C-alpha cells in the first residue's frame, strides 16, 4: 500500500464536476464547424413546424415525420412520437435561424450536463457512506471520476452529440438523469416524485426509450438506500404511483396523436432476422468496449445467416451478462445490479426493433445504456483499487491511457459528421456494401444536379430495397431528368403500388405523363394527388397548367386560384392564372 503522502489528493467535488464538464465540451468542440447532415435536412431545414407556434402545436398531434408526404411519414417503421424535437428546433430557430453552430453548441452543452449528472450518479452509487474506510471512500471517488470521464469522452457518443437529430437521445437521457436526481435520496417525497413525473414526461416526449425510467429508479433505490429507508411495498407503490402520472400523460398524448401505431415490420420473421437478433448485442454493444470502427451503419453489414461470427459472439455476450446478473443477485451486489439494469433495459427497445425486422444498428442507441456500462467499469475500478492499493498508480496510468485513446478516437470521428458528402463517403469506405449507402449517395448526387452519377447508385439501391418508396421515387426523378420517361414511369408506378395513399407518386406520374404528351392521363394523375392532399400547392399548380395546355381553360382557373390562395407569392401560378382568365374570357365585340 502506498503511504498517505504518496497518494494523489482527492479533488474537491466542484473541481471533479468542472473537469468532467470541460472534458465533454472540449472533445466535441469540433462539432461547431459541422453543418446539418442526414435527417437534419428534414427535421431542421425542411421542417415547416418549427417556423411558428402554430406549427409546434401541430407537432404534438403528429408523428415525428408527419410533415412529410414521403414514405417516412406513412411507413409504420417510423411511427415515432417525439414532439419535443420540434420544440428544440423551434427555440433555436427563433434565436439563431439556421446557423448550424448554435444547434451543435446546444448539443455540446446538453452532453456536458449529462456527463456531470453521470458523475453525480456514480458518486451516489459509490459514495463514502457505503465504504467502511477512508481508503474505500478515496477509491470510490477516483472510480466515479474515471467512469464519468469515460462517459464524457467515449467516441460511441459522437453520433448522438455531433448530429443535430441526436438531440432526441441527449434530451431524453438528460431528462432521465434529472428525474433520478429528483428521486434520490430515497425515499422521494411527494413533491420530488411529482417533479420526477413531470421530467419523465419531458423525456418521453423526446424519445420513447425513457419508458424504462421506473425500473431504473427502482434499481438506483436498491443500490443507494437500505430497505428501511425505502419503506414497505405500500410506501413504494405510492411513490411510483405519483411517478406514473408522467407516463399516463404521455400515453394520452400519444394515443391522441397516433393511436396504437408502433415502429416495426409486419412481415413474418426470417431465419436471417432471428440470427440478427442474436448478433445485435455484439454488433452494437461491442462498440462500448471496442469503438473501432464507428459508422452510421454496422461496419459488418446486415446479418444474413447463422454462420455470421457475430451470432455466437452476441449469444456469448448475453450469456455472460446473465451470469453476471445472477452472481450480483445472489451476492446482493446491488450497485452491480443497478449497472446491469441501466445497461440492459435502455438497450431493450433497440433489440425489440431488431426482432420486428428493423435494422436497429445506431450508435446513438447506446447513449443512455452507456451509463450502466460506465457504472460497471467504475465499480470494477473501485474493486481493483481496494484489492491492489499498492498498484493504484499503475491502475491510474492504464485508466488514463484508455481515456486518452478514447478522446483521440472521438476527435478523429467528429469531423466525419461535417456534411453529408463527407459522412456518406466515409460510410462507403468503412462499411461493407449496403443498399442504404447507395441510396444516400445517389440522393446527394441527384440533389447536387449530378444526375449521371446518381443513377448507378440509385439503381443499386432500388434492387436492394425493392419496397422503399423514396428510393424508387428518386430513381424515377433521375430517369426523368435524363429523358428516360419510360423508365421513370415504370419506377413511379412501382411507388404508387407501394404506397397508394401517397400523393407524391401520383403527382410525379402526372409530370411524366405530361412530358410524354399524354395530357389527359396527366390531368387524371394530378387529380388523384389532390384527392389525397387537397391543399397540395404543387399539384394544384400543375393541374392548372396541364388543363391550360389541353385547352380546358375554364377548368384551369379554379385550381390556379386555390394555389394562389394557399401561397399568394407563387409567381408561376399568377402567370398561369392570368393566361387562363384571358383565354376563358369572351373576345371583345
3-state SS, one letter per residue, for 500-518: CCCHHHHHHHHHHHHHCCC
In DSSP notation, 292-346 reads -S--SS-TT----STTSTHHHHHHHHHHHHHHHHHHHHHTT-HHHHHHHHHHHTT
Closest CA to 383 of 139, 220, 147, 145: 139
In eight-state DSSP terms, residue 285 is: G
Residue 112: predicted pLDDT: 98
In eight-state DSSP terms, residue 587 is: P
Residue 10: predicted pLDDT: 78
Residue 565: predicted pLDDT: 93
Burial of 569 (0-12, 13-18, 19+ CB in 10 A): exposed
The Cα 325–Cα 318 span in angstroms is 10
- How does pLDDT run along the chain (589 residues), one tens digit per residue? 344 444 567 789 999 999 999 999 999 999 999 999 999 999 999 999 999 999 999 999 999 998 886 544 445 445 799 999 999 999 999 999 999 999 999 999 999 999 999 999 999 999 754 444 455 668 999 999 999 999 999 999 999 999 999 999 999 999 999 999 999 999 999 999 999 999 999 999 999 999 999 999 999 999 999 999 999 999 999 999 999 999 999 999 999 998 876 665 555 566 667 888 899 999 999 999 999 999 999 999 888 889 899 999 999 999 999 999 999 999 989 999 999 999 999 999 898 888 877 788 999 999 999 999 999 999 999 999 999 988 888 999 999 999 999 999 999 999 999 999 999 999 999 999 999 999 999 999 999 999 999 999 999 999 999 988 889 999 999 999 999 999 999 999 998 888 888 898 899 999 999 999 999 999 999 999 999 999 999 999 999 999 999 999 999 999 999 999 999 999 999 999 999 888 877 655 5
Residue 584: predicted pLDDT: 72
Q: Which three cell numbers stand for residue 207?
A: 424519445
Q: Which three cell numbers stand for residue 403?
A: 481515456
The Cα 368–Cα 347 span in angstroms is 8
The Cα 260–Cα 418 span in angstroms is 37
* C-beta of residue 123 within 8 angstroms of C-beta of residue 141: yes
Residue 269: predicted pLDDT: 62
The Cα 252–Cα 244 span in angstroms is 12
* C-beta of residue 71 within 8 angstroms of C-beta of residue 136: no
Question: Omega of the bond prior to 542 within 30 degrees of 0, cis?
Answer: no
In DSSP notation, 154-206 reads -GGGHHHHHSGGGHHHHHHHHHHHHHHHHHPSSSPPHHHHHHHHHHHHHHHHH
In this structure, the chain runs to a length of 589
Residue 4: predicted pLDDT: 45
The Cα 50–Cα 63 span in angstroms is 14
In eight-state DSSP terms, residue 41 is: I
Closest CA to 457 of 446, 468, 466, 448: 446
Burial of 353 (0-12, 13-18, 19+ CB in 10 A): buried
553 CB contacts (<8 Å, ≥6 apart)? 547, 580, 583, 584
Q: Which three cell numbers stand for residue 453?
A: 452519377
* C-beta of residue 519 within 8 angstroms of C-beta of residue 549: yes
Amino acid at each position: 500500500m502506498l503511504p498517505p503522502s504518496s497518494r494523489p489528493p482527492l479533488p474537491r467535488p466542484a473541481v471533479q464536476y468542472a473537469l468532467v464538464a470541460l472534458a465533454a465540451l472540449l472533445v466535441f468542440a469540433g462539432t461547431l464547424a459541422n453543418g446539418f447532415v442526414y435527417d437534419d435536412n428534414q427535421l431542421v431545414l425542411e421542417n415547416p413546424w418549427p417556423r411558428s407556434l402554430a406549427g409546434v402545436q401541430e407537432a404534438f398531434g403528429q408523428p415525428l415525420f408527419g410533415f412529410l408526404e414521403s414514405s417516412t411519414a406513412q411507413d409504420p417503421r417510423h411511427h415515432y412520437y417525439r414532439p419535443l424535437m420540434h420544440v428544440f428546433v423551434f427555440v433555436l430557430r427563433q434565436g439563431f435561424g439556421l446557423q448550424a453552430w448554435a444547434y451543435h453548441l446546444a448539443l455540446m452543452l446538453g452532453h456536458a450536463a449529462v456527463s456531470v449528472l453521470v458523475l453525480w450518479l456514480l458518486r451516489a452509487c459509490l459514495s463514502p457512506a457505503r465504504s467502511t474506510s477512508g481508503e474505500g471512500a478515496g477509491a470510490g471517488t477516483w472510480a466515479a471520476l474515471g467512469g464519468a470521464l469515460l462517459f464524457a469522452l467515449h467516441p460511441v457518443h459522437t453520433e448522438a452529440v455531433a448530429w443535430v437529430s441526436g438531440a432526441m437521445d441527449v434530451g431524453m437521457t438528460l431528462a432521465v438523469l434529472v428525474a433520478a436526481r429528483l428521486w434520490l435520496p430515497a425515499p422521494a417525497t411527494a413533491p420530488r416524485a411529482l417533479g420526477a413525473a413531470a421530467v419523465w414526461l419531458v423525456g418521453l416526449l423526446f424519445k420513447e426509450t425513457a419508458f424504462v425510467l421506473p425500473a431504473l429508479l427502482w434499481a438506483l433505490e436498491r443500490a443507494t438506500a437500505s430497505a428501511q429507508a425505502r419503506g414497505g411495498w405500500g410506501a413504494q407503490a405510492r411513490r411510483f404511483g405519483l411517478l406514473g402520472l408522467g407516463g399516463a400523460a404521455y400515453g394520452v398524448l400519444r394515443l391522441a396523436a397516433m393511436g396504437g401505431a408502433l415502429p416495426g415490420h409486419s412481415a413474418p420473421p426470417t431465419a436471417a432476422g432471428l440470427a440478427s437478433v442474436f448478433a445485435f448485442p455484439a454488433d452494437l454493444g461491442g462498440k462500448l468496449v471496442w469503438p473501432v470502427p464507428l459508422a452510421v451503419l454496422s461496419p459488418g453489414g446486415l446479418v444474413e445467416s447463422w454462420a455470421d461470427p457475430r451470432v455466437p459472439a452476441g449469444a456469448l455476450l448475453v450469456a455472460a451478462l446473465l451470469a453476471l446478473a445472477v452472481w450480483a443477485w445472489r451476492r446482493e451486489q446491488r450497485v452491480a445490479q443497478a449497472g446491469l439494469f441501466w445497461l440492459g433495459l435502455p438497450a431493450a427497445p433497440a433489440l425489440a426493433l431488431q426482432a420486428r425486422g428493423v435494422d436497429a444498428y445506431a450508435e446513438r442507441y447506446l447513449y443512455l445504456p452507456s451509463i450502466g456500462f460506465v457504472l460497471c467499469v467504475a465499480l470494477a475500478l473501485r474493486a481493483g483499487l481496494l484489492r491492489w492499493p499498492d498498484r493504484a498508480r499503475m491502475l491510474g496510468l492504464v485508466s488514463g491511457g484508455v481515456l486518452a485513446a478514447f478522446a483521440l478516437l472521438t476527435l478523429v470521428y467528429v469531423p466525419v459528421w461535417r456534411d453529408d458528402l463527407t459522412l456518406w463517403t466515409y460510410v462507403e469506405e468503412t462499411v461493407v456494401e449496403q443498399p442504404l449507402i447507395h441510396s444516400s449517395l445517389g440522393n446527394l448526387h441527384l440533389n447536387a444536379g449530378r444526375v449521371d452519377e446518381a443513377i448507378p447508385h440509385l439503381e443499386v439501391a432500388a434492387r436492394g430495397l425493392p419496397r422503399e418508396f423514396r428510393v424508387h421515387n428518386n430513381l424515377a426523378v433521375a430517369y426523368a431528368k435524363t429523358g428516360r420517361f419510360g423508365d421513370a414511369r415504370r419506377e413511379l408506378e412501382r411507388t404508387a403500388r407501394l404506397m397508394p395513399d401517397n400523393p407524391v407518386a401520383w403527382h410525379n406520374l402526372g409530370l411524366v405523363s405530361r412530358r410524354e404528351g399524354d395530357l389527359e392521363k396527366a390531368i387524371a394523375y394530378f387529380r388523384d394527388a389532390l384527392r389525397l392532399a387537397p391543399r397540395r400547392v404543387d399539384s394544384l399548380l400543375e393541374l392548372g397548367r396541364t388543363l391550360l395546355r389541353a385547352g380546358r381553360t375554364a377548368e384551369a382557373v379554379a385550381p390556379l386560384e386555390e394555389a394562389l390562395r394557399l401561397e399568394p407569392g407563387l409567381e408561376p401560378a399568377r402567370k398561369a392564372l392570368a393566361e387562363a382568365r384571358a383565354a376563358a374570357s369572351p373576345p371583345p365585340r
